[in-house]
Structure 1
Amino acid sequence: MAACVLCRRLPRLRYLPGLREGFAQAQHTLVKQENETDDQEEKEGVLQHQEASFQGGYKLYYNPSSYHRSVWNSANSRSQADNDEDEQCLSAHAPSFWQQTNRYSVSCSRHLSSSKNTLLDLAFNKSPEPEISSVSLPHRKPVPPVVKVNSRAFLKCRPEYASMSLDLNQRPHPVKWEEALPLLHKVTVLKGSMKPSDVSHFLVELSRLHPDKIPSVRGDQRFIMLLRYSVEHLRLFSQPQLLDVLQAFVWLDIPSAHTVLELYEAELSRRSGQMSLRQLMFAADMWRCIGKQVPQFLQHLYDSVRLNLGQVEVPELVQLLYIMGEGRQCPKDLILPLEQILMCHLKRLHPEEVGAVCLGLFKSQTSISEGAVTRIVDKALSFVKEMSDLAIVNVLKYMRFSYMFHRPWLEAMAQEVPQRAHRMGVKGLMHVVLACSAVHYRNDNILNAIAERIPSLVPHCRSKDSCKLLWAYGTLGFLPVQSPSFYPSLTEALRQRKVEFLRYPEHLLTGLLGLAFVSQFPEDLIALALSPEFVNLALKSKQLDLKKDLFTLDGAVALELPHWTGPRLSSELREEVAEMLWKFAQSDVCQKPEVQEAEAALQDLLGGEEFVCKRMILVFDSVLDLTSDITETLNKPSSLGSTCQESKGTVKVAVQITSRNHYCSQSQQLLGLHAMKRRQLKMAGYRVVELNYHEWVPLLRKSRTEKLAYLHCKMFDKKAKIAQNLAPKANHNNSQ
């Protein structure tokens, strides 16, 4: 809420020379990408990092839009580390226990001369689904990861997992190429006379070849013929033979988009009623190893779980949650029973199993009760030093999803992360700092340790990693002077991967806003982000709404780069977003009791409602000055230049009603977005009067006289004894 409001329009500025041409050239240089780490963005989930802001009488639920993608490509790479690190998290279903006011909250076979294969031919001749986006990244040699992560380490905790999962580190006893050739020859000899046992035997034996020879086998026409006959015999396989063939497909590295796999999924789904719970889990795990999403089959698995809840012991529970995470879904009617089973068995979990449970809950976007989350984190804390780096990161991921502020765990992280950071990879470090920013926990031990490690990892940073790191550090108010190489190295990483933003424009906006929070404005990247071509690309996104991100960045440029001659958003787009935000503010923030009470009290203090104006300070075209002649200035046009040189005696005041969600936890340090707004108000010539939630909310229960006395002291810059008396009690009542 504001007693004085500045809003201004600047004329649209000219574009930087050559920007349009460079952008167009970048689009034409794209070539088919490799299956590397950066190509997993389709799996990126919803990191809903919403921030509530009272700034000039409105609350902006600020969602960096790169945290809202919920797209999954069925042909994703099966790379274990990549697949497990990418998140499908933070859906719109917020945990019920979190405060409602806290919104912070990636070749055709030859035709066989068989009259029985009409349906089979249709399946094999069907065009495979594309494995990559139509907008591809440039051909680039993949950078090997600095740290290899085993997301399936929990499978070594108990022998029972062997019957429900495939150990990818235990390949079958190898056979030589010379031993495989006779098998391929038999395929051409036997042809249609092959029995189901022959087909399964041949596939299993061929899967024992050395991985270097597997591509040669897959390209052999005799192998393609064998695959076709496997489909022809599909319904004749016994249960063990069917599972043996699926396991052979894992070792043969059958592409996840191969049409033969759809037929196998359908057959396994048909037989699900005849399979045990562990057999179904084993099949689900092999689909995971292949990298194919099988929602139809998983529904049958979940149906079996419902019927066999009594069989769900620790290994079944952990493996089931892992499978649910990889499938990105937990049926709603299973959440409560699984939570109850988890709480029953929690004491028996090993450190890596706790990490696997958290990862599964995180990836499946499953909200459980506050008490259950607290108990899980308590359990993790009890053996935190025994946990792997990955397990710790997984706990932090689920805390981020649940917005769980668990102070003992976070304090333990202040000890553990600095000791582990030097050996951790960029993805793990990114998730650590994202978790801290999500729960507003700033600890310089953690931030400094990660900031020192990141510059050496920049070659391994995806654009998503760099941008989210910038966002998290900016949110927590980590200033450039605290680590001179941190922000420059990540900013340069954005320049090196600039072309990736043609595919994922939301990441660039996330990174630039994180930089803007700490007064960093790389003008070449800003020119790209505000160019008409990029803006049009961003606005075409069907899954994301990037208008607010563009609007915020554009407004920051207008205020903080007075020399700017680069591109700006069109006035039409700015007006559209401003109107959208203002309508929301009027229906939400302006109805809050603390805002309405402040408005009424200010009107009494200043002499009437005409002297108080609720506005979105900084994007409107009028300025309201607190002077003796205030009525004449209600609609006075203004610009930034003129408002900074008002006549003597003029005082421009912006009254802000803050909430605790504007600050780092148990701190008076504003979070990045709110610190930026406060800075910009002062740049625009305002004296900011803050009605701190510690002081103002308790006063809502007091008399009108006490409220007016408090506001009088605030408005006229006098010490408010009443505020000082209230502060200790308010701090106690509002502690987290």
Structure 2
Amino acid sequence: MTTRLLCRWARWFPRSPRTATASARLQTSTVHHTEPLCLMTLSWIRPSVRHLCQGNELAKIDEGTVPYERTKLIKLVEKASTPDEVLQLWDQHGGTGSEAARCLIQLNLRVVEKGSKGVLLDPRCKSMQDTLNTQLSTVWNGSLVGLLRTLTMLGLPAHAPLLGAIQNEVLWRIRRLSYRHLSYLADWVAFQRKMGYENEVLTSTLLKQLELRWTELSDSRTITILMGRASLFTPSLMDKLEDKALELAESFTAEDMRRVALALASQNRRAVPLLRALSYHLNQKPSFELKTPLLLDIAYVYGKLNFSQTQFFKRLASELLPRLSELSSSEVSRCAKSLALLKWLHLPLFEGFAQHYVSNSEKYSTLQMCNLLMAFAKLNFQLGKEQFYLKVHKALEDSFTSLEPFLKTDLVWSLCVLNQANSDYISSVIKPDFQKKLSAGGIEGRTENYRQKLLNICAYAQLEPLGLAVDASAVLLPDRQSKAESSTSALQKTLHTALWSLANERKQALHTAVKTLYGWTIDGELVVDSENKPIDMENFKAPHLPEGGGADALPEGTRRIAFVAWDFSNFCLKSKDLLGRFAMQKRHLQLAGFIVVEVPYFEFLELKSDWQKVAYLKDKLGKAVAEEMAK
């Protein structure tokens, strides 16, 4: 504060009034002596110009004009290898407050490296703290900010007087701290908040400085530190940090990109432009920079944020395939789960995952194996290796009964998708007592989701040749209609409209959004005669409905048709292959006696007029019936 007041006073000093006589004497008799003074004061008189990109001049002046001096003591301390050596050097030489700060920082580094307990209780360490406490004003800015983290790591209580004094000194100097020092301070403040201690004045002042001076950001390390502590900041500052990261993405190392991506995932911020830039620049990196943990972290981030970038996925697969033998069981299951969330199936890579399990099944935990199976089921990866499933069933012999109810349901459902479920697995999850565990205290949406899965499992038991009798209507249907109704997509709405035109607007001939006993929803149900014309079906038996339909059997030559709309989300990424859930839906409807007419989005939504859509449905219906008759 004194320095700033002197600078302001010095600007006005040359303009202070003088008497005419004194001024004349100054100009005539001492002109040669005053010339240097005049040159010096011109810079004070002229207004200073500072562009936004030049950063905080106060911070630069503080660090540039008063550089840190590496004294003899500091040189010796930096060469010390153990905490005791650092303490011994301080005891022999002593030092100033600035040297005490550097010694404490080096002491903490040695404690982390070598390990040591009770360092703060050592009289030599207390001597450092006492010296520091009396000479805080002489400590350099970087050391002062580093002391907060150092003393916290050494175990100094948050309410200790020394920490309070350092925080007050930091608060007093906060405008003179560089932006990098502010980022380190934000990191420490976030840690203190997590531990339940917070200096509200320091936090609010720090956030204000970060908000006002964000244009000073110029290095990737500072950006990654701040983005990792985004819970402290306002949304506007996070947007600015993302803009800065996008601006500097080209200069980031692969490790910097990993940190930024993980920071986005931790805050669940789906910054698409930044993620695209990171993907592009990562794809340009040489192979030796793309370490296996980095690739797995990026896959996890993209899976969590639902961000698809097929070019990078191909690079990831090409990098991981030669390294599969080096991966651990946790890395394989984690990678498979991330790629399943992205709906991206790379056949050679997933075959490698399966072979990794066959070769290292004893190293897989039950949870890791379940995650691998669920990833295979989500992507409908039908593996032809019997040895793989033999090892899976053998591993489940001892651990299946002890699985948590939700995980057990997911596992059995996945085995049904993969055509590997047996009667023992299914009977264990359809018991009323087990279903009560799924619904007790659960969230309504989650409970409904698992009820649907149990219906699918019962459908597998009824429709697949397992020889297991299951009464789904008595066991699985809820007492009241579920409030969680699935929303109708644009494709389904368009399909319903076209089907009404196909059925000539006859309600008795068409049912839409039909919820079946099997847990599957049919977008449109028709019964057609031998000429593929819709007929009334109100009086016909409908074993797929909860109420069973009418009393009459289907006449000879008639066929039951199920129209199913396949949206973009029903397919694997960049593919026309159905995901496991919808492949099982198609299989079950066919086994239930339906001729399934598939209506994919990439064909139906391209049709513009209503008559084109109706003609398309008639053509698809005719082809489906012809294929069924040809079998």
Shorter-chain TM-score range:
0.5 to 0.7
Alignment partner of 1:626 out of 514, 527, 535: 527
Corresponding residue SS for 2:511: coil
- Determine the structure 1 residue equivalent to 2:617: 711
Q: Give the CA deviation at 1:695.
A: 2.6
Q: Does 1:613 align with 2:511?
A: yes
Are the aligned partners of 1:328 and 1:365 in contact in 2 as well (CA < 8 Å)? no
Structure number with the bigger relative contact order (C-alpha 8 A, sep ≥ 6) is 1
- Determine the structure 1 residue equivalent to 2:609: 702
Summarize the Cα distance change of 1:524–1:641 in structure 2 as closer, same or farther, 3 Å threshold: farther
Q: Does 1:468 align with 2:376?
A: no
Corresponding residue SS for 1:657: strand
Q: Does 1:381 align with 2:283?
A: yes
Report the TM-score, using the length of structure 1 for normalisation.
0.57
Q: Distance in 2 between matches of 1:600 and 1:242?
A: 71
- Determine the structure 2 residue equivalent to 1:95: none
Q: Give the CA deviation at 1:309.
A: 1.3
Structure label with greater radius of gyration: 2
Q: Does 1:281 align with 2:188?
A: no
Are the aligned partners of 2:144 and 2:170 in contact in 1 as well (CA < 8 Å)? no
Q: Map Cα deviations across residues 638-686 of structure 1 (whole Å, 9 max, x no partner).
A: 789999x977434222111212321223433211111111111122221
Amino acid corresponding to residue 510 of structure 2 in structure 1? V
Corresponding residue SS for 2:573: coil
Amino acid corresponding to residue 552 of structure 1 in structure 2? Q
Q: Distance in 2 between matches of 1:309 and 1:282?
A: 15
Alignment partner of 2:592 out of 678, 681, 684: 684
Corresponding residue SS for 2:345: coil
More helix by share: 2
Are the aligned partners of 1:454 and 1:486 in contact in 2 as well (CA < 8 Å)? no
- Determine the structure 2 residue equivalent to 1:659: 567
- Determine the structure 2 residue equivalent to 1:345: 248
Q: Map Cα deviations across residues 600-626 of structure 1 (whole Å, 9 max, x no partner).
A: 22322xx72211112123359999772
Q: Map Cα deviations across residues 350-390 of structure 1 (whole Å, 9 max, x no partner).
A: 222222222222222112234x4322211111115131122
Q: Distance in 1 between matches of 2:362 and 2:210?
A: 44
Q: Give the CA deviation at 1:538.
A: 4.3
Are the aligned partners of 1:362 and 1:401 in contact in 2 as well (CA < 8 Å)? yes
Q: Distance in 2 between matches of 1:518 and 1:621?
A: 17
Q: Map Cα deviations across residues 91-115 of structure 1 (whole Å, 9 max, x no partner).
A: xxxxxxxxxxxxxxxxxxxxxxxxx
Q: Does 1:439 align with 2:439?
A: no
Report the TM-score, using the length of structure 2 for normalisation.
0.65
Q: List runs of 5+ in structure 2 lacking aligned partners.
A: 1-67, 69-77, 91-96, 529-534, 627-631
Corresponding residue SS for 1:579: coil
Q: Give the CA deviation at 1:276.
A: 4.5
Q: How does 1:508-547 map to 2 (within 5 A)?
A: 508-521=408-421, 535-539=435-439, 545-547=445-447
Are the aligned partners of 1:531 and 1:567 in contact in 2 as well (CA < 8 Å)? no
Q: Distance in 1 between matches of 2:134 and 2:410?
A: 49
Q: How does 1:467-486 map to 2 (within 5 A)?
A: 467-482=370-385, 484-485=387-388
Are the aligned partners of 2:257 and 2:278 in contact in 1 as well (CA < 8 Å)? yes
Are the aligned partners of 1:471 and 1:511 in contact in 2 as well (CA < 8 Å)? yes
Are the aligned partners of 1:466 and 1:490 in contact in 2 as well (CA < 8 Å)? no
Corresponding residue SS for 1:656: strand
Are the aligned partners of 1:477 and 1:518 in contact in 2 as well (CA < 8 Å)? yes
Amino acid corresponding to residue 662 of structure 1 in structure 2? N
Are the aligned partners of 1:658 and 1:691 in contact in 2 as well (CA < 8 Å)? yes
Question: How many pairs are equivalent?
Answer: 515
Amino acid corresponding to residue 519 of structure 1 in structure 2? N
- Determine the structure 1 residue equivalent to 2:11: none
Q: Distance in 2 between matches of 1:466 and 1:382?
A: 34
Alignment partner of 1:561 out of 458, 461, 466: 461
Alignment partner of 1:308 out of 213, 221, 224: 213
Q: Over aligned residues, Cα RMSD in angstroms?
A: 5.3
Amino acid corresponding to residue 475 of structure 1 in structure 2? K
Are the aligned partners of 1:354 and 1:391 in contact in 2 as well (CA < 8 Å)? no
Amino acid corresponding to residue 375 of structure 1 in structure 2? A
- Determine the structure 2 residue equivalent to 1:574: 478
Q: How does 1:716-735 map to 2 (within 5 A)?
A: 716-717=622-623
Q: Distance in 2 between matches of 1:266 and 1:597?
A: 73
Q: Distance in 2 between matches of 1:234 and 1:473?
A: 65
Summarize the Cα distance change of 1:557–1:367 in structure 2 as closer, same or farther, 3 Å threshold: closer
Q: Give the CA deviation at 1:555.
A: 0.8
Corresponding residue SS for 2:605: helix
- Determine the structure 2 residue equivalent to 1:671: 579
Q: Does 1:599 align with 2:499?
A: yes
Q: Give the CA deviation at 1:345.
A: 1.3
Summarize the Cα distance change of 1:468–1:570 in structure 2 as closer, same or farther, 3 Å threshold: farther
Q: Map Cα deviations across residues 513-544 of structure 1 (whole Å, 9 max, x no partner).
A: 43332223266665665566655554456778
Q: Distance in 1 between matches of 2:373 and 2:234?
A: 35
Q: Map Cα deviations across residues 254-296 of structure 1 (whole Å, 9 max, x no partner).
A: 69xx9879x9799859955465433343345568899956797
Q: List runs of 5+ in structure 1 lacking aligned partners.
A: 1-162, 164-170, 184-194, 721-736
Q: Does 1:451 align with 2:357?
A: no
Are the aligned partners of 1:451 and 1:486 in contact in 2 as well (CA < 8 Å)? no
Q: Distance in 2 between matches of 1:524 and 1:542?
A: 26
Q: Does 1:395 align with 2:298?
A: yes
Summarize the Cα distance change of 1:221–1:494 in structure 2 as closer, same or farther, 3 Å threshold: farther
- Determine the structure 1 residue equivalent to 2:20: none
Identity of matched residues, %: 14
